Structure 1
């Protein structure tokens, strides 16, 4: 009687094989959050005039350059930060997910080198755990060898995002990037702001300085402080708005928080002290008393 031949294990196994389980584990590794020390901050100017200026700063004295304590760059203080992970940190994560990961350009030139498109961008294929996805990167118009490396790194980050790597950072950065693309208006003077226009403020009902204001749902103390700080910077010449912001700051217990005053002195003082001094300054200006009484 002929001996039975045992079928290969792969045809007998039910459910995921060890190979597919390893793939799933590797791809899941890509989606893990990056630790804070591996996240870098790229400054992006919010003011259109600053972006268009050769010096990176416009004539608005409130947009003067200074060293940013968060990103370490000497840049106009009217900027925000786009969070990202660097090339080395991403490469390390790819190696953790799949030691055999690889990438290749979508097209090559006559010399076999990666072919850049007419916009200076590079399309690539990134393969991790046997799966391939596309990515696109560029060097923001820069030239030279470092620009090529920057475009490759940007393309790898973009392709890895399709696998879920640093996806939360991409979402936040896309939102912040959108905040720098609003059209400039005479009222904003190049400042991106969520405050209403003059017409909207005239149509809105007057708010009494001492009236309680509803708290924003889910807003932390730090978020409230950041919001009010942004508001008083945008309303630096509006006595009524500053008075309302000062009152809300007192209601939220933020009066003694330390803030940096406007250029050129840029001295550090308390939140309440800064607003009190500015309100007094506006009251002393011609027509200031009228606005103060209206409040």
Structure 2
């Protein structure tokens, strides 16, 4: 049965994004990998992580709970959470799913034993240079494909901060390849369902829970749309999304583009043809 969904995000626009415009130009080098092998590598990178590999980071969204400290508020008493395994205000916090540095490294090694990363800039000693926010920009190369990533350690200092920055940058760059992208999407849904626009800003809850996310084919289509948006300017990502749509039998699903309803297969096929014509077959552009 053909389903009709809401319009795709406005990021589906023609032309390069600011990210691709500002990315440092590097000579194309596929290191002997064919296009088919690169697409297969992207598929493997985007495979869901096992539940045992996924961790959960608790974030209190209820302002009253924050003001009450660890005691919670009247509506959200404190109890041990089955996800994050910590004592948190029940229903007053969310658990953001993520994978750690070790799990991300293991996935990269399984896909490409010769994967590598390098800092975008170095100082006179050849050491990675942090930016004005004490963050690090890196290049991550997997199967001859290179994309940018950014890492930050928050309030950490010293050697632990450096390790945190590197791990965060690798995970961030890996997400540009689609690694653990479904966890980012599910975490966004968690934030929406919490009743607040931002858990970090501590906005007060309206007292009403948002509508539960769709399940089944509709949920799969929403996840695919997020991936399409992320890889809209990358021909390899579009090809991979088309293959995934075929595998999950989503080719005939309809999405709204402007005032028109377009089949997923037609949308991606036309986009792939447009990118190949505009880039002359260059697949080294990064997804937005």
Q: 1:160 — aligned with what? A: 174
- Whether the 8 Å CA contact 1:27–1:128 is kept in 2: the answer is no
Among residues 63, 68, 78, which one is paired with 1:48 in the alignment?
Answer: 63
Stretch of structure 1 that moved more, 163-172 or 110-119: 110-119
Secondary structure (helix, strand or coil) at the match of 2:34 reads helix
Secondary structure (helix, strand or coil) at the match of 1:43 reads strand
Runs of 4+ aligned residues of structure 1 deviating over 4 Å after TM superposition are 178-181, 215-220
- C-alpha deviation, 1:181, in angstroms: 5.0
How far apart are the structure 1 equivalents of 2:187 and 2:140? 22
Secondary structure (helix, strand or coil) at the match of 1:32 reads coil
- C-alpha deviation, 1:62, in angstroms: 3.6
CA change 1:218–1:162 in 2 (3 A) is: closer
How far apart are the structure 2 equivalents of 1:18 and 1:129? 6
Q: 2:73 — aligned with what? A: 60
CA change 1:73–1:99 in 2 (3 A) is: same
Q: 1:175 — aligned with what? A: 189
Q: 2:82 — aligned with what? A: 69
Q: 1:143 — aligned with what? A: 157
- Whether the 8 Å CA contact 1:57–1:63 is kept in 2: the answer is no
Question: What is the CA RMSD across the aligned residues, in angstroms?
Answer: 3.4
How far apart are the structure 1 equivalents of 2:81 and 2:69? 14
Bigger relative contact order (CA 8 A; separation at least 6)? 2
- The Cα offsets for residues 73-124 of structure 1, whole Å up to 9 and x where unpaired, read as 2333321111111111111110111111001111223432222222232211
- C-alpha deviation, 1:171, in angstroms: 1.2
How far apart are the structure 1 equivalents of 2:123 and 2:88? 39
Q: Which runs of 5+ in 1 are unaligned?
A: 1-16, 197-214, 221-295
- C-alpha deviation, 1:219, in angstroms: 6.4
Q: TM-score, normalised by structure 2?
A: 0.54
Pair 1:103-2:132 in alignment:
no
Secondary structure (helix, strand or coil) at the match of 1:70 reads coil
Q: Which runs of 5+ in 2 are unaligned?
A: 1-31, 217-288
- C-alpha deviation, 1:48, in angstroms: 3.3
Q: 1:36 — aligned with what? A: 51
Secondary structure (helix, strand or coil) at the match of 1:127 reads strand
- Whether the 8 Å CA contact 1:46–1:192 is kept in 2: the answer is no
- The Cα offsets for residues 21-69 of structure 1, whole Å up to 9 and x where unpaired, read as 3333222211111122211111111123545x5x844772444443222
Equivalent residue pairs, number = 181
CA change 1:105–1:121 in 2 (3 A) is: same
Secondary structure (helix, strand or coil) at the match of 2:59 reads strand
How far apart are the structure 1 equivalents of 2:189 and 2:80? 24
Please give the residue correspondences for 1:1-295 in structure 2 after superposition, counting only pairs within 5 Å. Answer: 19-48=34-63, 50-51=65-66, 56-57=69-70, 60-77=73-90, 78-177=92-191, 179=194, 181-182=196-197, 190-191=204-205, 193-194=207-208
